[in-house]
Amino acid sequence: MKKSIEDLALFGGRPSVTEKLHVGRPNIGTRESLLRRINDLLDRRWLTNHGPFVDEFEQHIASLVHVKHCIAICNGTLALQILIRALELKGEVIVPSFTFVATAHALEWQGITPVFCDIDPRTHNLDARQVEDLITSRTSGIIGVHVWGRPCDVNSLTTIARKRNLRLIFDGAHALNCVYGGRHVGNFGHAEMFSFHATKILNTFEGGAVVTNDDDLARTVRLMRNFGFADYDSVVSVGINGKMSEVCAAMGLASLESLDEFTTVNHRNYNAYQERLKNVSGLDVVPYDESENPNYQYVVLEVDADVTQITRDQLQAVLWAENILARRYFYPGCHQVEPYISRPFSVGSPLTHTEYLVKRVLCLPTGTTVTIESIDEICEIICFAITYGAQIRHRLERHPIL
């Protein structure tokens, strides 16, 4: 245990953790299961163009979330872009700023203006009470984001969308296998998107999917994913190359076999962090609701600098120096990056809660590469940094490193 701030690597000591611990380090399932499938696809020489592994993966995801259609896409951002185009969104679409920038970029890329709405500070999700105030004659849709896998206020957003005749999409990048009101995420709005990026609880190396119960929409998305081909040589609409490869689907199938294990480990890690940090003043571990079947993919701290005497960024600097690569999410907020920061009209209302939260949130390493022993070390360093927060803050303010 460190005895003085000089023991911190930031100030000349040695890092406590020798191997770097990352947020979002990939979960890897059974290697033999993946390699067996890779050998199969190499023997078949069917590497892409909707092979049997993609078909099997789509069926498994649809079954997992109890939805009629799953259309696998090469990545989550393109899945969202294809869905936006399939629903013929235009003009303005209301989105949270507290999300990964891909949510906004998927609109901007297609000439649609994202209008940023504030969040509910309790849930970190889109504040449905403010959404309706932002609707104009140019508004064509709403995109809700299930941040940390905690579902949006689906009922309120659905009511608003129906009343105002708007398209409703949910970005479920964090929320695979999570539940809202007894139904799996994937069953809400016109459609939802999942991400299977390497950092997600279930990965296909890189990938995504559109899921929906709308037969016509599913058919349109499938056409768009494959250049608009309805048959071998029949092109019936504009499309793009959004197909998932067979090797990515093979990884997805292998990962599905270990999904329960991934969730169990995440839950164990979350409980360990919560237990070790529960009495630390100024730190709150963001809670999950057991009824929502959380996947515990993220361990999220809110840091109250007025209490800890150390800012979130200064705590992050301490952890990074100790090889603990905690991350700020979703700093600094989509509305504070280009091209949106140069267009103030994209901010539909004061984003008070968003701007407050992006300065407080810090995500800690979890997943199958993180052990309880590692969590003990991480929490010891956090507690030490909080104990000596005023001294660390004073030194870093005199000699900034960020």
**For 90-134, what is each residue's pLDDT tens digit?**
999 999 999 999 999 999 999 999 999 999 999 999 999 999 999
The predicted pLDDT at position 259 comes to 98
Residue 402 has pLDDT above 60, yes or no: no
- Residues 143 and 166: beta-carbon distance below 8 Å: no
Residue 398 has pLDDT above 90, yes or no: no
The predicted pLDDT at position 345 comes to 66
The dihedrals phi and psi of 114, each to the nearest 5 degrees, come to -75, 125
Q: What percent of the chain has pLDDT above 90?
A: 91
Residue 136 has pLDDT above 60, yes or no: yes
The mean-pLDDT minimum among 45-59, 157-171, 224-238, 255-269 falls in 224-238
Residue 400 has pLDDT above 80, yes or no: no
Predicted model pTM: 0.95
The predicted pLDDT at position 231 comes to 86
Cα 329 off chain centre by:
10
Please identify, in words, the CATH class of the domain defined by 5-25+258-326+365-398.
alpha beta
The predicted pLDDT at position 192 comes to 98
Confidence class of residue 309 from pLDDT cuts 50, 70 and 90?
very high
Residue 347 has pLDDT above 80, yes or no: no
The predicted pLDDT at position 228 comes to 86
What fold is seen in the domain 31-257?
Aspartate Aminotransferase; domain 2 (3.40.640)
> Chain-wide mean pLDDT for the chain?
95
pLDDT tens for each residue of 272-306: 999 999 999 999 999 999 999 999 999 999 999 99
Instruction: Specify the DSSP class assigned to residue 241.
Output: B
The predicted pLDDT at position 397 comes to 86
The predicted pLDDT at position 401 comes to 61
Kindly state the average pLDDT of the residues 231-242: 91
Domain limits of the chain? 5-25+258-326+365-398, 31-257
The DSSP result for 83-143, as a single string, is HHHHTT--SEEEEESSS-THHHHHHHTTT-EEEEE-B-TTTSSB-HHHHGGG--TTEEEEE
Q: In the chain, how many H helices and how many E strands?
A: 14, 16
Q: Respond yes or no on whether the N-terminal peptide bond of residue 339 is cis (omega within 30° of 0).
A: yes
Residue 201 has pLDDT above 80, yes or no: yes
